[in-house]
Amino acid sequence: MTLDDRELTETGLSPRKTGRLLLIACGALAHEILALKRANGWDHMDLQCLPAKLHLYPEKITEAVADAVTEHRDAYDDIFVVYADCGTGGQLAAKCAELGVEMVEGPHCYSFFEGNDRFAANGDDDMTAFFLTDFLVKQFDAFVWRPMGLDRHPELRDMIFGNYTKLVYQSQITDPALVDKARACADRLGLAFEHRHTGYGDLGTALAARA
């Protein structure tokens, strides 16, 4: 399957209507989830991705996930929500509990990619870090530069990022071109650059547990 990151940002990914377990995930996780499915032979898992741009409007995530669960639950034996809290302030967890479906643990994808325990332990050191994943490096302009108005008002950069000290790129795959692009993103934001190869972190563990 060929994935278009712009489509994952704007429209997401429709399920194939096969398998017994439906994963409802953020479009920003599509590459990683499909890679894990292929590597482990999890053919019983189907995947629906909601538009990644919902992360620009976290107040809309809970309703969108709930609508997807309601739409598809009769077609599958089980549903697993591959979202962390993602800025919903606990509302997504409460809605998943109400609907009787489980979800990935953690405050956000940066935490579960790093490993929730390790991310929490790094709390003080990373207090002033701005994080990017593979997907967000590739979609930096769509998720950071344009939504924050930096394409139109570059003078806002120091106001928005003045309290940050570094950009941390958490890579899921090994790609020197993405490292170079992430470093360029750090330069554009005026931040020091740090690269951590996290792989899939707790995402892989969570999906393995469901498998």
For 143-197, what is each residue's pLDDT tens digit?
Answer: 999 999 999 999 999 999 999 999 999 999 999 999 999 999 999 999 999 999 9
Give the pLDDT confidence score for residue 82 in this predicted structure. 98
Write out pLDDT tens, residues 88-128.
999 999 999 999 999 999 999 999 999 999 999 998 899 99
Measured CA to CA, the distance from residue 131 to residue 169 in angstroms comes to 6
Whether the predicted pLDDT of 51 surpasses 80: yes
Tokens of 130: 């701005």
Global confidence as pTM: 0.93
Cα distances from 109 to residues 99, 164, 190, in angstroms, run: 22, 19, 24
HSE of 188, CA atoms in CB hemisphere, 13 A: 16
Write out pLDDT tens, residues 128-146.
999 999 999 999 999 999 9
Write out pLDDT tens, residues 77-86.
999 999 999 9
| Interval 196-204 mean pLDDT | 97
Give the pLDDT confidence score for residue 2 in this predicted structure. 77
Q: In what order do the strands lie in the sheet containing 45-50?
A: 45-50, 21-26, 78-82, 102-103
Give the pLDDT confidence score for residue 18 in this predicted structure. 87
Measured CA to CA, the distance from residue 190 to residue 178 in angstroms comes to 18
